[in-house]
C-alpha cells in the first residue's frame, strides 16, 4: 500500500520565503504544498479548510501572529496538524511561547533544504520530539519556573517518570520500549497518561511543562 503524501500549508507574510519553501518541498517525493497564508488570521482559515498534516508557521505575521494562530488551530480542531514554527532567531521568547501554545517544534529560516525536509517528515510521521536540545535551551532561557512540587509531578508513577525523561531526550515510543524492555503499546499508554497528568496536548508541551515544574533540569 502506497503511503499518502504529507500535505503542507505555508504561513509567512514574505512572498520570497513562501516561494523558497515551496520550491524545496515540492521537489521532494511524498511532500505536497496544498496552501499558503500571509497572515495569522488567514493561516487559521486555510488550515481549517484544507486540513493539512503539517504547517510551517512564521512566528511574526500581521493581524494575528504565529503564537495566536497556533493557539487557535490547536485549540479549535479535533485533530490539528503538526505546526512547525519557522523563525529567524533560535533563542526567541516568541518561539518558546509558540511551543507552549502547541507547536511541535521550530526551524530556523537559514536551515538548509535537507534539514527542512527532514523536519517536515519527522513531525508528520513519527512521535519523536523535534530538536530536544533546542527545546531544553529555550526552556532554560525563557521558562516560567514553577515549584518543583507542581501537583501533577506527584501523580506520575515511577514508570511514567522514566517515560517522560526519555520523551525529553527525543526518543520515539519504539525506542523507549526497547530502552525499558516493554511493549510499544505499554509505552503508548504511559505517554497518554503523562499527557493527561501534565495537561499537555503533545510531547513538546509535556516536556516544556516538565522543565517548568523543575522535574527536568535545564542545565
- pLDDT at res. 135: 86
Q: Tell me how far CA of residue 75 lies from CA of 48, 93, 103, 114, 208, in angstroms.
A: 12, 21, 11, 31, 18
CATH number for the domain running over 142-212: 1.10.10.10
What is d(CA 92, CA 88) in angstroms, rounded to the nearest whole number? 9
Instruction: Quote the DSSP letter at residue 3.
Output: P
Query: pTM of this prediction?
Result: 0.86
Q: Per residue of the chain (219 residues), what is the pLDDT tens digit?
A: 457 899 999 999 999 999 999 999 999 999 999 999 999 999 999 999 999 999 999 988 888 899 999 999 998 998 999 999 998 877 678 888 888 888 988 888 888 999 999 999 999 987 777 778 888 888 888 877 655 567 899 999 999 999 999 999 999 999 999 999 999 999 999 999 999 999 988 899 999 999 988 898 876
pLDDT of residue 145: 61
Domain segments of the chain: what residues?
6-125, 142-212
How many whole angstroms separate alpha carbon 114 and alpha carbon 111? 8
Question: Do 6-125 and 142-212 show the same overall fold?
Answer: no
User: For 156-203, what is the HEC assignment?
Assistant: CCHHHHHHHHHHHCCCCHHHHHHHHCCCHHHHHHHHHHHHHHHCCCCH
Q: Which option is the CATH number for 6-125: 3.30.70.2860, 3.40.50.920, 1.10.1200.10, 3.40.50.2300? A: 3.40.50.2300
**pLDDT at position 148, please?**
56
DSSP reduced 3-state for 127:
coil
First to last CA, the chain: 46
Instruction: Please classify residue 58 by burial: count the beta carbons closer than 10 Å to its beta carbon, then call 0-12 exposed, 13-18 middle and 19+ buried.
Output: buried
Q: Do the Cβ atoms of 197 and 152 come closer than 8 Å?
A: yes
Amino acid at each position: 500500500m502506497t503511503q499518502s503524501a504529507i500535505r503542507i500549508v505555508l504561513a509567512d507574510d514574505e512572498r520570497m520565503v513562501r516561494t523558497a519553501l515551496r520550491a524545496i518541498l515540492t521537489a521532494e517525493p511524498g511532500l505536497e504544498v496544498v496552501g499558503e497564508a500571509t497572515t495569522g488570521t488567514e493561516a487559521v482559515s486555510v488550515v481549517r479548510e484544507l486540513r493539512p498534516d503539517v504547517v510551517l508557521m512564521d512566528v511574526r505575521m500581521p493581524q494575528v501572529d504565529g503564537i495566536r494562530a497556533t493557539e487557535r488551530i490547536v485549540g479549535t480542531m479535533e485533530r490539528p496538524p503538526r505546526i512547525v514554527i519557522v523563525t529567524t532567531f533560535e533563542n526567541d521568547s516568541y518561539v518558546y511561547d509558540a511551543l507552549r501554545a502547541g507547536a511541535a517544534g521550530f526551524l530556523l529560516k537559514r536551515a538548509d533544504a535537507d534539514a527542512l525536509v527532514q523536519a517536515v517528515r519527522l513531525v508528520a510521521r513519527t512521535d519523536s520530539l523535534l530538536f530536544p536540545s533546542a527545546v531544553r535551551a529555550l526552556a532554560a532561557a525563557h521558562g516560567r519556573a514553577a515549584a518543583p512540587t507542581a501537583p501533577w509531578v506527584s501523580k506520575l508513577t515511577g514508570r511514567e517518570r522514566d517515560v517522560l525523561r526519555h520523551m525529553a531526550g527525543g526518543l520515539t515510543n519504539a525506542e523507549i520500549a526497547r530502552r525499558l524492555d516493554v511493549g510499544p503499546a505499554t509505552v503508548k499508554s504511559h505517554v497518554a497518561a503523562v499527557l493527561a497528568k501534565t495537561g499537555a496536548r503533545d510531547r513538546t508541551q509535556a516536556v516544556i511543562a516538565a522543565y517548568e515544574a523543575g522535574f527536568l533540569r535545564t542545565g
